[in-house]
Amino acid sequence: MHRFANPAEFNRLADAILPWAKIIMAAAFAYGLYLALFTSPPDYQQGESVRIMYVHVPAAWMSMFTYMVVAAASFTALVWRHPVALLAGKAAAPIGATFTALALITGMLWGKPMWGTYWVWDGRLTSVLVLFFLYLGYMALWRGLDEEDKAGRAASILALVGVVNIPIIKFSVDWWNTLHQPSSVMRMDGPTMPAEMLWPLLTVALAFKAYFIVVFLYRMKLEINLRKLTVLSSIEARG
Amino acid sequence: MRAASLSPSFATLYPEIRPLMTADHIPRYNAPALVADGLATTRGGRRVFEGLSFTVSSGELLYLRGPNGSGKSTLLRLIAGYGKAHAGSLMFGDSDWTEASPAFDGAMIYAGHENALKPVLTLRENAAAYTGVMTGQAPDDARLMAGAALFGLTTLLDRPARFFSSGQKHRANLLRFTLLDRPLWLMDEPTVGLDAANRDVLADLMKRHLKAGGMIIAATHDPIGVEGRELALDDFSPKVVIDEDWL
Amino acid sequence: MSGGVNTSAIFRAIFMRDVRLAWSQGGTGTMALSFFLIAVTLFPFGVGPEPQTLARIAAGVIWVVALLACLLSLDRLYQADYEDGSLDDLALSPLGLTGVAAAKILAHWVATILPLVALSPILGMLMNLDAGAYGMLVLSLLVGTPALSLIGSVGAALTVSVRRGGVLMSLLVLPLYVPTLIFGVGAIDAAAGMTDPLPHLAFLGAVTLVALVIGPIASAAALKLSLE
């Protein structure tokens, strides 16, 4: 048996991590928002609207990161038949989808003052949109099959096919974007960013990551307890 | 598992086989035993049976008995390689069927609940599709005729399966046991929907197979009239319903 | 034990079986072809009949509709076999489920998609496609559509036990079709615009090759789940 295959073991581990993750989350959110809203300078071109970036970019990072978590959990679940890993993918996916939606919504809100319209088929936004669809498919497949275990493994196969395709999709969308839209509008990344903008960005990213851990662990505990409930009720049904 | 060619003594020993199959089609199996040891499996997160052990040797018939839900079909499907055992081992001679799919040994014929007939294809085409999937060859014509005659399907050979009655569909499904020479037969409720006459035909077919050294595992409620051992799946119902891991 | 198994004969038998079923009554062959034709002709009604407008969107429309036709016809790729029990038999073929999936995917492409490719120049005419782009239309479809069958097969296998799984399958598969669509249309647009279509075509082929590696294996893994 694997070490964390034992759900009770996992619960103990989660309970040990949770308080620390909560503290980091609260501190990083408070400090990050303070930096982002007050100390960081407005952009000389975009003005105050640049502050959306401090939510948008970390959310986009998290959308990718969470998909990798789902893919890794799926791989573990399929190869080692790890029951807790199966639930890890299920627990992580909605968080990832939420971050992806957040990245899309903030991207659109940012687009309005910058491009004069909410949606532009910008390469990065389009990739995030496709990623959002991948999340939707993964979650729909979990719900689509009647048997929990099979549903999880089917969704895991999909997640692995998806993770192979993500770089291809990203590349093809960039390719398509340069064909149809030669001028790249949004270039906020890279080492050219001044430190007073980079720090709030990284702090909020840390806060998001801690938030992910907190929600993820709670969702895992929930899933494990639901399993327990199923077990207990089926024992009861047998008499 | 290739069928050895007929030895003359075998034909004289079992002359009743002749009417069905032409001489070159009488198989003589020298198959190893199928040995299950401590099998356990789960279905839908629920343990179905555990500690299940049995041996079926050449010439033996094993009946799976037990009420609905006791895991008869599950066990048959497990032996056929659909899904993996939770614990235990299943050996066919030197082949480990717990790990590798038995499909690659080409040693069995499985007939499940569904009839596996394509409605748009005729019986002949359906038979060809079946042997094609299993061997890449169309069925031997004489043999197909003989098998169809046996189950009273001769007039249906060139009719699309969508016109068949449910009894005819079921017989058409049983036809597969006459088309290939494979030592291990897995039959899930083979008598459902069969009238008395066809039940006797099936019983004869099974007896011949056993005499030829074949083996059969059949899940059925009905008496077929063929001598066989019984395995009561209730004896292996799980002590623990689900993995206690979750508690 | 099975040294004498003729895998290529089995592959051929499964391939022929599926081609036959696709073109028999109720098969997907005629259905996909009719859908392809009808759906493309809807676009002039939607965007207006101006030749320039149609020419501009011709490549994209034909590719998108081909993609949807493929998706519609893949819906039942494994489900029909699952429901009538013949998937049980296919799983016991000495070819192995990966080989079976490959044979069925190839049959789907040959029986259902290849006719669309053959018909595509006529639709190009209806859509006023640039004269220089006809060759590339056919070539890009030839190179790109196998990826649609291969990736779609994974979606079909994952949703095989889901009743009315077609909608769910679309949700799973359509995002994965994006690269093929981009490079396929890109090649035609490049040919129409007198630029070099070769890079598009090369990437299109690369996507198909990746799909060739993933498709049968992932399909077989998904089918195994449904058989348990």
Averages of pLDDT over runs of 10 residues in chain A (239 residues) are: 66 92 95 90 79 91 95 93 89 96 92 84 88 96 88 95 92 82 46 76 95 96 87 69
What was the pLDDT predicted at A7?
Answer: 80
> Given a cut of 50, is residue B208 above it in pLDDT?
yes
> A144–C210: do the CB atoms touch at under 8 Å?
no
What was the pLDDT predicted at C2?
Answer: 43
Identify which of C158, C210, C226 has the shortest CB distance to residue A158.
C158
The position carrying tokens 């009905």 is: B222
Q: Does C52 touch chain B (CB under 8 A)?
A: no
Identify which of C171, C174, C228 has the shortest CB distance to residue A140.
C171
The position carrying tokens 């893919």 is: A71
From chain A, the residues in CB contact with B247 under 8 A are 8, 228, 231-232
B239: which 2 tokens?
Answer: 């002590």
For residues B217 and B76, give the distance between their C-alpha atoms in angstroms, rounded to a whole number.
Answer: 8
> A168–C210: do the CB atoms touch at under 8 Å?
yes
For residues A65 and C16, give the distance between their C-alpha atoms in angstroms, rounded to a whole number.
Answer: 45
What was the pLDDT predicted at B224?
Answer: 83
> B246–A228: do the CB atoms touch at under 8 Å?
yes
Strand pairing report for B95-96 and B34-43: unpaired
CB pairs under 8 A between B and C: 116
For residues B129 and C86, give the distance between their C-alpha atoms in angstroms, rounded to a whole number.
Answer: 10
Identify which of C9, C16, C92 has the shortest CB distance to residue B103.
C92
For residues B126 and B181, give the distance between their C-alpha atoms in angstroms, rounded to a whole number.
Answer: 18
Q: Does A112 touch chain B (CB under 8 A)?
A: no
DSSP-derived secondary structure letter, B32: P
Sign of CA dihedral A72, A73, A75, A79: positive
B221: which 2 tokens?
Answer: 């409620």
Higher pLDDT, C49 or A182: C49
What was the pLDDT predicted at B8?
Answer: 37
Best-predicted range by mean pLDDT (B104-108, C82-86, C160-164, C192-196): C82-86
What was the pLDDT predicted at C217?
Answer: 97
> B245–A234: do the CB atoms touch at under 8 Å?
no
Q: How much is the ipTM here?
A: 0.90
From chain C, the residues in CB contact with A168 under 8 A are 179, 207, 210
> C92–B102: do the CB atoms touch at under 8 Å?
yes
Q: Which of A228, A231, A233, A235 to mutate to test the interface with B (most CBs of B within 10 A)?
A: A231
DSSP-derived secondary structure letter, C200: H
Q: Does C176 touch chain A (CB under 8 A)?
A: yes
Report the residue of chain C nearest A135, measured CA to CA. Answer: C172
How would residue B238 be classed by pLDDT, with cut points 50, 70 and 90? confident
Identify which of B110, B129, B132 has the shortest CB distance to residue C88.
B110
Report the residue of chain B nearest A236, measured CA to CA. Answer: B241
Q: Does C151 touch chain A (CB under 8 A)?
A: yes
Interface of B with A (CB under 8 A): 44-46, 241-243, 245-247
For residues C187 and C204, give the distance between their C-alpha atoms in angstroms, rounded to a whole number.
Answer: 9
Report the residue of chain A nearest B86, measured CA to CA. Answer: A81
* Closest CA–CA distance from residue B123 to any residue of chain A (Å): 34
For residues C62 and C126, give the distance between their C-alpha atoms in angstroms, rounded to a whole number.
Answer: 10
Note the pLDDT tens digit of each residue in B12-21. 433 344 344 4
C125: which 2 tokens?
Answer: 């005419």
Rounded alpha-carbon distances, angstroms, from residue C80 to A80, B4, C166: 31, 37, 13
> B134–C89: do the CB atoms touch at under 8 Å?
yes
Reduced to 3 states (helix: H, G, I; strand: E, B; else coil), residue B47 is strand
Residue A57 carries which side chain, given as an amino acid letter?
A: V
Q: Which of A78, A82, A227 to mutate to test the interface with B (most CBs of B within 10 A)?
A: A227
> Given a cut of 90, is residue C66 above it in pLDDT?
yes
Contact status, residue A233 vs residue A239, Cβ threshold 8 Å: no
Residue C112 carries which side chain, given as an amino acid letter?
A: T
B34 forms beta bridges with B56, B92
CB under 8 Å to C77, separation ≥6 — which residues?
A: C104, C105, C108, C152, C153, C156, C157
C61: which 2 tokens?
Answer: 């429309």
Identify which of A137, A171, A172 has the shortest CB distance to residue C172.
A137
Over residues C124-152, the mean pLDDT reads 95
Q: What are phi and psi of A116, to 5 degrees?
A: 80, 5
Q: What are phi and psi of B122, to 5 degrees?
A: -75, 170
For residues C141 and C120, give the distance between their C-alpha atoms in angstroms, rounded to a whole number.
Answer: 9
Percent of all residues in chain C with a pLDDT value above 70, rounded to a whole number: 98
CB under 8 Å to B84, separation ≥6 — which residues?
A: B78, B98
What was the pLDDT predicted at B244?
Answer: 56
What was the pLDDT predicted at C4?
Answer: 61
Q: Does C161 touch chain A (CB under 8 A)?
A: yes
> C179–A144: do the CB atoms touch at under 8 Å?
no
Chains that touch A (3 or more CB pairs under 8 A): B, C
> Given a cut of 60, is residue C142 above it in pLDDT?
yes
Q: Does B129 touch chain C (CB under 8 A)?
A: yes
Over residues C91-116, the mean pLDDT reads 95
> B45–A147: do the CB atoms touch at under 8 Å?
yes
> C10–B116: do the CB atoms touch at under 8 Å?
no
**Domain boundary assignment for chain C:** 7-227
From chain C, the residues in CB contact with A137 under 8 A are 171-172, 175
Q: For chain C, give the mean pLDDT.
A: 93
> A227–B246: do the CB atoms touch at under 8 Å?
yes
Note the pLDDT tens digit of each residue in B136-174. 999 988 889 999 999 999 999 999 999 999 999 999 999
Rounded alpha-carbon distances, angstroms, from residue B200 to A84, A186, B64, B109, B191: 52, 79, 20, 20, 10
Q: Does C177 touch chain A (CB under 8 A)?
A: no
What was the pLDDT predicted at A4?
Answer: 52
B81: which 2 tokens?
Answer: 């390689």
Report the residue of chain A nearest C225, measured CA to CA. Answer: A150
**Residue B114: closest CA among B169, B160, B161:** B169
Chain B segment 172-231 residues within 8 A of C by beta carbon are none
What does chain B come to in residues? Answer: 247
Contact status, residue B222 vs residue B202, Cβ threshold 8 Å: no
What was the pLDDT predicted at A238?
Answer: 60
The position carrying tokens 């597969």 is: B176
**Residue C108: closest CA among C136, C63, C78:** C78
From chain A, the residues in CB contact with B45 under 8 A are 147-149, 230
Neighbour tally for B13: CB within 10 Å:
10
H/E segment holding residue A164: helix A148-180
Q: Does C179 touch chain B (CB under 8 A)?
A: no
Note the pLDDT tens digit of each residue in B40-71. 888 766 788 888 999 999 999 999 998 888 88
* Closest CA–CA distance from residue C120 to any residue of chain B (Å): 29
How would residue B193 be classed by pLDDT, with cut points 50, 70 and 90? confident
